[in-house]
Amino acid sequence: MSDLLMATCWTTAGEAAPDRADRRSPVPLRDRVEAAAAAGFRGFGLNSVDLPEAERTYGMPGIKSIFDDNGITHIELEAVPEWWSGSAAGTESHELRRTVLRAAEVLHARHIKVTPDDSGLPWDFGRWASEFGRLATQAADSGARLGIEFLPWANISNPEEALHLVEEAGHDGGGVVVDVWHTERGSTAPAELAKLPLERIVGVELNDADSAVVGTLFEDTVHRRRYCGEGRFRLVDIVDALSRAGWSGPWGIEILSDDHRALPVPAAARKAFETGARVLERGLRPV
């Protein structure tokens, strides 16, 4: 089961969160990877904002050695800021994009995850498709796939919209990252997930939550996620549906909550792994 589970970036980030001006994890990368591996994970997610400090500390080959020494075989890189804008050379966004692509090549990352725009500003679908295709080409040149994670409060809000963008981009290396928090909050039935084309599924993330949303969707997802099996999501049905679509892993465990951040990283990683493994075992059990 451990070979199937990936600790996505926030699961080991400690006291860090997406709604803060500084999203960087205060925990050294080596400590995070060792905690994830000790918990049982064989996959690890790293946010782009943590890459520069990690490279300064260990060097890119040193990061690769940390993963290798801890048996990490699946690596996800996350977040290319404003990837849809075609960032001009010399800008911070452009340089971070270059760092992510270089890291993907050196670390042998399986995929790079990007997210849509939640600013509410007007956007051009054709340009987005073109830029997604361009980034997918760059990712492929680095040996990785590119996946977009839809968000129910953003301009790409559900699986259908994400697939439309990917198909319009027209690159075989492009696809969709399915986070069950977003499918459940977006009212996507598990049966609909079974219809997703396998070749377009780049990643899957598991977590849980209560029935009621507290605050905005963004506030709820950042502060109140539950460990797998401790909320009201239809996780077993979702795992079964995605398995029927042909997905065999890795399955990311993405826990974001105030309670999770309050735990020491080794304890947080251990609880995330154990609860995720129990749900996955139930969902993958032959009927």
* Domains of the chain listed by start with CATH number: 2-284 (3.20.20.150)
Bridge partner list, 148: 114, 176
Return all residues near 210 (Cβ < 8 A) that are at least 6 apart: 224, 226, 231, 232
Taking residue 128's Cβ as centre, other Cβ atoms within 10 Å add up to 21
Tell me the whole-structure pTM to 2 decimals.
0.95
**Residue 114 to residues 97, 230, 255, Cα–Cα distance (Å):** 11, 28, 18
> Which of 232, 239, 241, 159 is CA-nearest to residue 205?
239
pLDDT at 287 over 60: no
Provide the pLDDT for residue 1: 52
**Tell me: the pLDDT tens digits for 13-61?**
999 999 999 999 999 999 999 999 999 999 999 999 999 999 999 999 9
The DSSP line for 85-130 is: G---TTSHHHHHHHHHHHHHHHHT-SEEEE----S-----HHHHHH
Distance CA 208, CA 61 (A): 35
CA torsion through residues 142, 254, 280, 272, sign:
positive
Residue 249 has pLDDT above 80, yes or no: yes
List, for residues 109-144, the tens digit of each pLDDT value. Answer: 999 999 999 999 999 999 999 999 999 999 999 999
**DSSP element (H, E) containing 177:** strand 174-179
With a cut of 70, say whether residue 146 has pLDDT above it: yes
Classified as helix, coil or strand, 59 is: coil
